[in-house]
Amino acid sequence: MPLKTIHFSLFTRSASVFLAFVLASSSLFAQKSSPFGTKGPVTASHTNPLTVSAKIDQPVLSQSDQAVIAIVLDFAEHWHAWPSESQDVLPEDVASFAIRSTIDLEDQPAWIKAVGPVQWPTPKPAPVPDVMNPGKTIEVPVYQGHSIAYIPILIADDAPAGEYSLTVSVGYQSCNETMCLPPDDATASVAVTIVEGATAGSTTPSDPDFANFDASAFATLASSGSMGNQSTGASGSAADIARPTFFGFTMPRAEGPLGITLVALLAAVGGFILNLTPCVLPVIPIKVLTISQHAGSPGKSMYLGLWMALGVVAFWLGIGIPVAFISKITDPSQIFGVWWITLGIGILIAAMGVGIMGVFNIKLPQKVYAVNPKADTATGSFLFGVMTAVLGLPCFGFVAGALLAGLAALPPLVVMAIFTSIGIGMAAPYLILAAKPALVQKIPRTGPASELVKQVMGLLLLSASAYFLGAGVIGWLSEHPNIGANVPWWGKVTHWWLVAIFALASGGWLAIRTFTITRRFSCRAVFSLIGLLIAGSAVLFAADQTNKAKHNFWQPFSPDALADAQETGSVVVVDFTAEWCLNCKALKATVLNRNPVKGELLKLDVTPLVADLTSQKAPGWKKLRDLGQTGIPLLAIYGPGLDEPWLSNAYTPSQVLEALSRARGEKDAS
């Protein structure tokens, strides 16, 4: 069999899913942040219908004591906050939008030995808007009225005597049956005195606010010996709401079970494909034969092969841990809100893509190549595996660099799943060949197909780069609405077509080179199909984004845009919304963007403006407050027939149509 056919047969079994591996990071980024970048939720400066306070059951404590902090949430009538994410009580359609409540103990002092998980209050049913039936409500469990959460703590055995203060931070969103205020946070403090010897202070067992605390938490906390803050539940964000859709299919959440499983599988396949690069493929037989020679028996060969595979995985874990640490200390939902970070990531990935195609090369120091651990022991085989991965850096270091740039914005669990899976995928051939060394004879040599892997990688990295560059530019435009208003609708999807062009080039080049590398009909058919899938999926996605942008008739709000429209005598409709606002999205999808209201908004005498309040710098905030409003959703309609703007936090199609008629000055508006 010709050499080209042999090494292409291995290529065929793996490269069909390479597009998903390279672009997995960029597609998942959109699950965790809007591609246009936002700065995160805005904190309301107005009076909030929630009062937060804290108290401790024993204000005077001694060393090794246990205590309970009660966080009291007092809601005004008709107001509520969403339950913690640890309480899976919300219907799926509501849970996907609700911004969950969180409680954290700030700046935990050293004299606290351990902090238990938050004991949340039992949610009680309250009316919230029915997202499927505008104007109607459904009852879901929420925190309301006088709700109390508890944090159990253990005092350290060597806690120094003195007077201290503990601060608790509460994150929440206040809503009623018609509107939601912006996500907010509040803090409450409690005073604590620590004395030596027996506790000298008095307890407050008769305080009814501590009656529902489950004291068994102390036994669990003491036996676990866990240190530091425990998980208190994560709040939702704009990113959790704005997951991308592709012709009606919604991408799974990156941190959800399905999302993690999907990205792990894709990363494992990508790790396997890295073995086909010219830097790695030739050394596989050498490494495996070295292990089998040292082993002397099939059992020991498998044993040493396992340790070598663990070394490869350890290499990728060594890369992933610092990236996960960055994502742990940085709010992932806000990283892409900074346009120049997104732009910088795009530039870096572009450089990586150009480099992997051979414009420049990574050369390791000669001393690195001289390192050759003996593979006759478990430790030696482990180091053998680490060095095998290190020596492949000149070929796949570009891909690793692109991952470093982008994955820092994902949750730590997802980051570790990606890098661990890459290591497993790359290590799998070594483990299999160590079990059956005879298969080494079937491993192809390097050649045109191996080079083709690098070229396809480079083009797909350029495709991913185009996405980030475009997102960075649009992020900058979102902070400059006066400039962004002059950008035509197609200008905001240009980067998607650049993504498609590079993907089209990669798929086309894959198909063309296949015909020159092998004459086998099966290889030509398979790789032509793979190239078509790569190119076709990218073009279809760009077309889908273009279709959405073309039919987006809403213009960005600015004071000048409102004034100009009013001067022409136009009826102006301003939709105050935000990515984190459940009710806003429901009303827009079911009322404003559907006929008959949509047909009226598209008429020449109507100017529809959208005031997106997701960003802290959004100009719509000042206008919202000028209208005497503190929360959204809010629809404001101006027109010649109205002395004052028509305002509504919850509306039906008939109400909007009637308001438009009045704004036009029509006599039969009633």
pLDDT above 70 covers a percentage of the chain that reads: 70
* Interval 575-593 mean pLDDT: 77
What does the pLDDT average to over 485-508?
84
63 with 162, same domain: the answer is yes
Q: Which domain holds residue 353?
A: 3-38+243-549
C-alpha triplet 484, 488, 494: angle, nearest 5°: 95
Q: How do residues 205-227 score in pLDDT, each as one tens digit? A: 578 888 888 887 777 666 554 44
**β partners of residue 146:** 74
Question: Which range has the worst mean pLDDT, 77-86, 98-107, 656-665?
Answer: 98-107
Which of 189, 216, 236 is the C-terminal boundary of a domain?
A: 236
Provide the pLDDT for residue 644: 92
Which residue among 549, 577, 596 closes a domain?
A: 549
Are 203 and 314 within one domain?
no
> How far apart (Å, rounded) are the C-alpha atoms in residues 492 and 504?
20
> Is 373 found in the same domain as 348?
yes
Residues 294 and 390 grouped into a single domain? yes
Q: Which residue has the higher pLDDT, 308 or 340?
A: 308
Number of domains in the chain: 3
Q: Is the pLDDT of residue 597 over 70?
A: yes
Q: What is the pLDDT of residues 451-492, one digit of tens each?
A: 787 788 788 888 888 887 887 787 677 667 667 667 777 887
Domain match, 276 and 405 both: yes
Distances (CA, A) of 560 to 56, 371, 493, 609: 53, 67, 25, 11
Which DSSP symbol is given to 589? I
Q: Which pTM was predicted? A: 0.45
For residue 43, is it within any domain? no
180 inside domain: yes
Residues 28 and 56 in one domain: no
Alpha carbons 311 and 377: distance in angstroms, whole number: 13
389 and 525 in a single domain? The answer is yes
Residues 174 and 56 in one domain: yes
Beta carbons of 139 and 126 less than 8 angstroms apart: yes
> pLDDT (tens digit, 9 = 90+) per residue, 62-82?
888 889 999 999 999 989 999
Write down the residue that tokens 């960055």 correspond to: 326
Residue corresponding to tokens 């709401």: 241
For residue 626, the domain's CATH number is 3.40.30.10
**Residues 459/505, Cβ–Cβ less than 8 Å:** yes
Tokens at 198, concatenated? 């027996």
273 within some domain: yes
Query: Which has the closest alpha carbon to 425: 264, 547, 205?
Result: 264
pLDDT tens, 330-373? 544 445 546 777 788 788 778 877 877 777 666 656 665 566 66
Per-residue pLDDT band for 113 (boundaries 50, 70, 90) equals confident
pLDDT band at 241 (very low <50, low <70, confident <90, very high): very low
Asked if residue 325 and residue 230 are part of one domain, the reply reads: no
Q: What is the CATH number of the domain that holds 158?
A: 2.60.40
Mean per-residue pLDDT for 527-540?
86
Q: What is the rounded CA–CA span in Å between residue 633 and residue 240?
A: 19
Among 496, 529, 549, the domain-final residue is: 549
Degrees (nearest 5) of the Cα angle 596, 599, 604?
145
Q: What percent of the chain has pLDDT over 90?
A: 15
What is the number of other CB atoms lying within 10 angstroms of the CB of residue 607? 20
